[in-house]
Amino acid sequence: MSVWDDLPGQSAVIEQLRSAAEAERPTHAWLFTGPPGSGRSNAARAFAAALQCEQDRPEDRGCGTCHACHTVLAGTHGDVTNVATEKVTISIAEVRELITRAQDRPSSGRWRVIIVEDADRMAERTTNVLLKAIEEPPPRTIWILCAPSPADVMVTIRSRCRPVSLRIPPAEDVAELLVRRDGATPEAAGYAARVSQSHIGVARRLAHDEEARERRSRVVSLPLNLHSVSEAVVAAGRLHDLANDDAKSSSERRNAAEREQLLTALGAPETGKLPASMRSQVKQLEEDQKRRAKRAVTDALDRAMIDLTTFFRDVLTLQMGTSSELINEQIRAELEQYASNTTAESTLKRLDAIGETRQRLATTNAAPLLALESMAVSLL
């Protein structure tokens, strides 16, 4: 066992990070990039664990069995700070807090490691605040930034970081990971790895959540029932509802648990009105949860459109007569019938329409339902 076991299909990256962890003075700033689901965050945590590993011999670091490795991977190591925002952006106040923490000497490990999982979610002003800390870091501090691509981070930041580029792992490797680590059945793991297009996080959820599998199936089947503008509008509303249901299902239990934990920590009374001193903290939690819910809906909509894209990708595969495996093999008959009634040119236009809608929702304040209705009409 080692900290690298949960990085399927990343042998080149593992070799690069293992060598760095063995060095006496590793690079002080890193930029991990890769498509969604490639395992950027897992790689960052594994690297942090290897840097803090208690093994005496450098070549043994990243053992996965010592106390330091366990606590880093569990997110409880005192010298490793992990920032994974669930809001739209990382605030400048949060970055300033990180910079202050970066000045502290390690308390028990060899390094103070700060992982920023969503470095692409910083505004330019926030990034400029971080730049100074990366340019002149304390001697025992290592920064690890994660983003989908180098272009998502300001050039002044990425020029001062050592790049680590992850790739989409093979579906077979993702399926093996789900069976070994998460106890999924080989059949469920194979299906989840294929339809998620090797997105590790999505595959894990699909392998274990029957409701998530059902929602995805309904999204992928939407184009089969589009024959008129009225049906397109109804389908857009259905897609919007599915995305909201998906986001809601993943946050309701968590929100309730967070509220209960906060009330317990505050020593709140079991009945009656909360004291004024406690109400402000509960209100702050509720506001944070609302911001997180907004991002959850945006992410769920984007994921739904990615699933919808796989339908037309499969249709195009059949129309072009390639030997590529279908992502949605389970509905091959429906895909073949749809492909026979349309042209490759029209399929490409539909793929463009979905891509434009994803871009519009990600970069503008467009009303989601209206954008989805416009997209659905374009799919006729």
> CA dist 130 to 27, 29, 34, 153, Å?
17, 12, 22, 12
Single-letter residue type at 130? L
In a domain, 217, yes or no: no
CA distance 298 to 300: 5
Query: Counting beta carbons within 10 angstroms of the beta carbon of residue 252, is it exposed (0 to 12), middle (13 to 18) or buried (19 or more)?
Result: exposed
In a domain, 189, yes or no: yes
Residue 159: CATH number of its domain: 3.40.50.300
Examine the domain organization and report whether 156 and 275 are in the same domain: no
Examine the domain organization and report whether 157 and 249 are in the same domain: no
In a domain, 215, yes or no: no
Please tell me the total count of domains within the chain.
3
In a domain, 253, yes or no: yes
Q: Which of 206, 158, 231 is nearest to 307 (CA)?
A: 206
Examine the domain organization and report whether 50 and 105 are in the same domain: yes
What range does the domain containing 51 cover?
Answer: 11-165
CA distance 170 to 328: 16
Examine the domain organization and report whether 156 and 179 are in the same domain: no
Describe the crossing of helices 200-208 and 210-221 by its angle, rounded to 10 degrees: 110
Residues 6+ apart with CB under 8 A from 247: 293, 296, 297, 299, 300
CA distance 7 to 21: 16
User: Rg (Cα) of the chain, in Å, rounded?
Assistant: 23
Examine the domain organization and report whether 288 and 326 are in the same domain: yes
Residues 6+ apart with CB under 8 A from 278: 263, 266, 268
Examine the domain organization and report whether 195 and 319 are in the same domain: no
- Provide the b/e sequence for 17-30 (b: ≥16 CB within 10 Å): bbebbeeeebebbb
- pTM value surpassing 0.85: no
Measured from the Cβ of residue 306, the count of other Cβ atoms closer than 10 Å reads 17
In a domain, 214, yes or no: no
Single-letter residue type at 261? Q
In a domain, 279, yes or no: yes
Q: What are phi and psi of 110, to 5 degrees?
A: -75, -25
Per-residue pLDDT of the chain (380 residues; tens, 9 = 90+): 789 998 998 999 999 999 999 998 899 999 999 988 888 999 999 999 999 999 989 999 999 999 999 999 998 999 999 888 766 678 888 889 888 888 888 988 899 999 998 888 888 888 888 888 888 888 899 999 999 999 898 898 989 999 999 999 999 999 999 999 889 999 999 999 999 999 988 999 899 888 889 989 999 999 998 889 999 999 999 989 888 887 776 666 677 777 777 777 777 776 777 777 777 777 777 777 777 777 778 888 888 999 999 999 999 999 999 888 899 999 999 999 999 999 999 999 999 999 999 999 888 888 899 999 999 999 98
